[in-house]
Structure 1
Amino acid sequence: MTTEHPVRLDALLASSARTHPGRTALEGAGESWTYAQLEHAVAESAERLTANGLAPGDRVGVFAPKSPATVIALYAALRAGAVVAPLDVADPPERTARMIRNAGLSLLLTTDRALAGAHRAAARARDGVPADDGALDHGLHWLRVLAPDERPGPLPAPTDRGGYILFTSGSTGWPKGVLLSHENVAHYALWAAGEFGLTPEDRIGSQAALTFDLTTFDLFSAAAVGACTVLMPDLLRAFPRDVAGWLTEQRITHFVAVPSLYHGMLQQGGIADAPPPHLRVAAFGGEAFAPELLERYLELLDGVPFYNLYGPTETNACTYYRVPADWSADQELTIGRGIAGVHIEVLDEDGRPTDGEGEIHIAGPTVFQGYLRGGEPSDPTRTVVFRDGVARRAYASGDIGRITSDGRVFLRGRRDSQVKRRGHRIDLMDVESAVLDLPQVATAAVVAKSGPHAGQIWAYAQADASERELLAALRDVLPKRMLPDRVVPVTTLPTTTSGKVDRRALSDDGDPTPTGAEPIPTGSVLIEEIPA
């Protein structure tokens, strides 16, 4: 399903409210909302926001745990013409404050449960000055972060009339705001609704945080056809057995999740003993799927389509591959081809299309409008001449891959310091910046480990502190998903012959202290595993 004309995300909801007013649109937190009820709440809240000074093009943060009230807040801000930024209540207040400042958010929407945390984040963003607030209906509150005369300048069209902001890890320690238009998000949502065969009778299991781009399918693809979005309780993600049971109890027909959650359900969740009987389509994205476990899932799901989705936050999901039922672990897994309207090209170091390995470039209607830094937009895309001779505005993904003659793409790794952990993109320089900002630390290096500790993030810090003390300090500035698996205090860091930190030695060595680094005898201990 595609569209030739830009579609507003809130218009998808309004359309289904007209055609399917009595169908269930949303379930979660013990609540059930029909499309007519949800549309009425959204329209009412949007009017209240406009009456309180929200103007089209303003940037609004939604700071609340995932619940029906949070979904109403997102839609209401979109209906009022705002650019909406979901925020994670679990992030440290200082990091949330950086997101607020970087994106130029003028207003925060929150709920009773998250109001105190929203005030703390807003105060940090305002250099300690408390924010004015007020109440809306449906348990919602607003906090004014910027006065009307302090609002940043208008955004470029089409985001000047509203859109979406998602945040990614940035190398400077400041999360980057990814600026998306209604069309950027709606194009993927409409395509996915068609490709996955969504109908008004379907029930989509929404397990990811609203800050994760997987949820654009959960919300907007469902609204496009009048399906029901079922919000999974956040606590369940740490208990794979409960997730597997929840899929059955809630009669989930469509489910999109990161591979680590699928891994947990198979290895610890008992899904092999009781596959969800109502599941019609499953999909994964955000990180690599363990080949042996993927092969077992294909046998377990017995004909249920299982999709591999790929795409950085800057493009949403932009390629797809329906994994064949007879795929086996000894075969290389492709990320597939571009979704309808999206063009993929692989360029060599000279910026020319290549049949060998190169950087993956993405062009088409899902490509974002730019980054927000200090409230101001910047567009990192460039014009690329694809092998068909057409010049297109393209985003350089940072992913290395190769493309076959029939358009299938295979990933080969990254060209920078970014890694994926449980579906989240993490820039190691972001973590390193947080370590270097600690007053106890003189210098530091953060690496992704290989060898016996492959997949872990380790920080090596020249510091007058123990690992436990450094970790405690990092918990105040980094979200749990970004915390290093180890923080190793050292007196020196290994260097190359040119005097630079030898990151390869730090990454490759399986020992806590690589050759050339001298440990501080502090009795460091391995931190507890972070729940998925």
Structure 2
Amino acid sequence: LGILPVDCPAAPLTDAAGAGYVLFTSGSTGWPKGVLLSHENVLHFVRWTVERFGVTPADRIGSQSSLTFDLSTFDLFGSALSGACLVLLPDLLKGFPRDVVEWLRTERISVFYAVPTLYQSMLHKGGATGAELPGLRVIAFAGEPFPTAELKRYTELFGNVEFYNLYGPTETNVCTFERVDHRWDPRDGLSIGRAIDGVRVELVDEAHRATRDEGEIAVSGPTVFLGYLTDGELRPLTTRISPDDGSPAYLTGDLGHYGADGKIYLRGRRDHQVKRRGYRIDLYDIESVVQELPEVRTCAAVWTESAPGEGRIVLYAVADGMTRTLLRRAVSAALPRHMVPDDIHLVGRLALTGRGKIDREALASAAPTQERDHGRR
């Protein structure tokens, strides 16, 4: 910062009492926005997490997230609050799953919070097992769906570890959680659970009324951000959920429904739905079905638009022992005809964002000419 010219004086945010820090959304669904969070936002989250995970000064928290990614808030503030040791994963190891597993072992990491993509690479290329990592007692994940077959494999390999599925966009940090039982059956689906203590999470209809039917996930309470920053101006939240509890709510854009167990299950995103040949299709539905195929390790379905309102569904998959023809047959047998992708590509790995998530924008704009070359490009 000392060598960067800063010659534009900034006015203080007089209407943002309690402001603590700014994170930018990834921009995967539009232009990145500055998310202004308060001290109370992060404190409420880490107090809950430290208590739920039972973090003590005896723990060693492994930190692999960038400071620009909200997963890092647990690492930093959770360790400070509990007195646990914070251990930073060197950047140069992140691309090498076996080195990450070795780092977890030698550093005796007991609590680890990461995106599912990293856990998958640790499983398939890093040799991660409970015997290899005996000190690990909490595995938490967030940021993207965890393929159910892969998660089940983890629960089998790590019999003494507690697994937590944490859900929440940058604007709310974590707002719901599900502790994944070792007896969990992938055929039941993976829920995002229930709201964390003190936070209100509702499914709402188009009029922002709480509903028991399928609806958009809305969040209000102490973890919800203060508002968006645009050119130094704060744009606070104004949406309210009916019945109104007095707190502004954030509409996540994620769709969900209640299961028979009363927990919330994701149904995709409003902006992840496409209309093709008269059918409305959720791309996450395609992915969830394809990921159930035993040979498929991970996949991503993307929409490539050729003209306004027109386009093609393209599926990228990482699979073992399959040819493109065999994969297309399996996918065609598993999906209704109107949901079968127009193109299917086998790749060595999926393109990732700087935060370790699947880079859907890069996939949607790609035109691979060599079946196993896309991941490198």
Q: Under TM normalisation by the shorter chain, which class is it?
A: 0.7 to 0.9
Contact 1:202 1:228 in 2 (8 A): yes
Q: CA deviation at 1:227?
A: 0.9
With 503-512 and 185-194 compared, the bigger mean Cα shift is at: 503-512
With 173-182 and 299-308 compared, the bigger mean Cα shift is at: 173-182
Look up the match of 2:104: 247
Q: 1:310 to 1:155 in 2, by over 3 A?
A: farther
Q: CA deviation at 1:174?
A: 3.5
User: 1:25-50 CA deviation, whole Å, 9 max, x = no partner?
Assistant: xxxxxxxxxxxxxxxxxxxxxxxxxx
Look up the match of 1:376: 233
Look up the match of 2:192: 335
Matched, 1:145 2:2: no
Q: Return the alpha-carbon distance in structure 1 between the equivalents of residues 368 and 91 of structure 2.
A: 35
Contact 2:101 2:126 in 1 (8 A): yes
Matched, 1:502 2:310: yes
Q: Return the alpha-carbon distance in structure 1 between the equivalents of residues 368 and 150 of structure 2.
A: 37
What is the DSSP-based 3-state SS (H/G/I as helix, E as strand, rest coil) of the residue aligned with 1:292? helix
Alignment match of 2:204 (pick from 347, 350, 372): 347
**Alignment-mate amino acid for residue 268 of structure 1:** K
What is the DSSP-based 3-state SS (H/G/I as helix, E as strand, rest coil) of the residue aligned with 2:145? coil
Q: CA deviation at 1:222?
A: 0.4
Q: Aligned-pair RMSD on alpha carbons?
A: 3.0
Look up the match of 1:408: 263
Contact 1:361 1:395 in 2 (8 A): yes
Look up the match of 2:15: 156
Q: CA deviation at 1:501?
A: 3.6
Q: Return the alpha-carbon distance in structure 1 between the equivalents of residues 11 and 47 of structure 2.
A: 32
Q: 1:146 to 1:407 in 2, by over 3 A?
A: farther
Number of residue pairs matched by the alignment: 313
Q: Return the alpha-carbon distance in structure 2 between the equivalents of residues 286 and 523 of structure 1.
A: 26
User: 1:241-271 CA deviation, whole Å, 9 max, x = no partner?
Assistant: 1111111100001001111111111111111
Q: 1:505 to 1:209 in 2, by over 3 A?
A: closer
Q: TM-score normalized by structure 2?
A: 0.75
What is the DSSP-based 3-state SS (H/G/I as helix, E as strand, rest coil) of the residue aligned with 2:157? helix
Q: 1:186 to 1:146 in 2, by over 3 A?
A: farther
Matched, 1:529 2:362: no
Please list every run of 5 or more consecutive structure 2 residues that lacks an aligned counterpart in the other structure. Answer: 274-281, 291-297, 316-340, 346-366
What is the DSSP-based 3-state SS (H/G/I as helix, E as strand, rest coil) of the residue aligned with 1:192? helix
Q: Return the alpha-carbon distance in structure 1 between the equivalents of residues 5 and 44 of structure 2.
A: 32
Matched, 1:267 2:155: no
Name whichever structure is richer in helix by fraction: 1
Contact 1:165 1:177 in 2 (8 A): yes
Q: CA deviation at 1:164?
A: 1.1
Q: CA deviation at 1:167?
A: 0.8
Look up the match of 1:22: none
Q: 1:405 to 1:456 in 2, by over 3 A?
A: closer
Q: Return the alpha-carbon distance in structure 2 between the equivalents of residues 262 and 309 of structure 1.
A: 15
Contact 2:304 2:312 in 1 (8 A): no
**Alignment-mate amino acid for residue 271 of structure 2:** D
Determine which structure has more spread, i.e. the larger CA radius of gyration.
1
Q: 1:397 to 1:524 in 2, by over 3 A?
A: same
Contact 2:130 2:159 in 1 (8 A): no
User: 1:314-336 CA deviation, whole Å, 9 max, x = no partner?
Assistant: 00011111111111221211111
Look up the match of 1:305: 162
In percent, how many aligned pairs have the same letter?
A: 49
**Alignment-mate amino acid for residue 13 of structure 2:** P
**Alignment-mate amino acid for residue 455 of structure 1:** A
With 277-286 and 406-415 compared, the bigger mean Cα shift is at: 406-415
Contact 1:385 1:392 in 2 (8 A): no
**Alignment-mate amino acid for residue 96 of structure 2:** F
Q: TM-score normalized by structure 1?
A: 0.54
Q: CA deviation at 1:380?
A: 3.8
Q: 1:298 to 1:393 in 2, by over 3 A?
A: same
Matched, 1:209 2:66: yes
Q: Return the alpha-carbon distance in structure 1 between the equivalents of residues 125 and 264 of structure 2.
A: 32
Q: 1:158 to 1:292 in 2, by over 3 A?
A: same
Q: Return the alpha-carbon distance in structure 1 between the equivalents of residues 109 and 29 of structure 2.
A: 40
Q: CA deviation at 1:348?
A: 1.4
Q: 1:200 to 1:459 in 2, by over 3 A?
A: same
Contact 2:237 2:248 in 1 (8 A): no
What is the DSSP-based 3-state SS (H/G/I as helix, E as strand, rest coil) of the residue aligned with 1:330? helix
**1:101-250 residue pairs with structure 2 within 5 A?**
109=1, 133=2, 143-148=4-9, 151-159=10-18, 162-170=19-27, 174-250=31-107
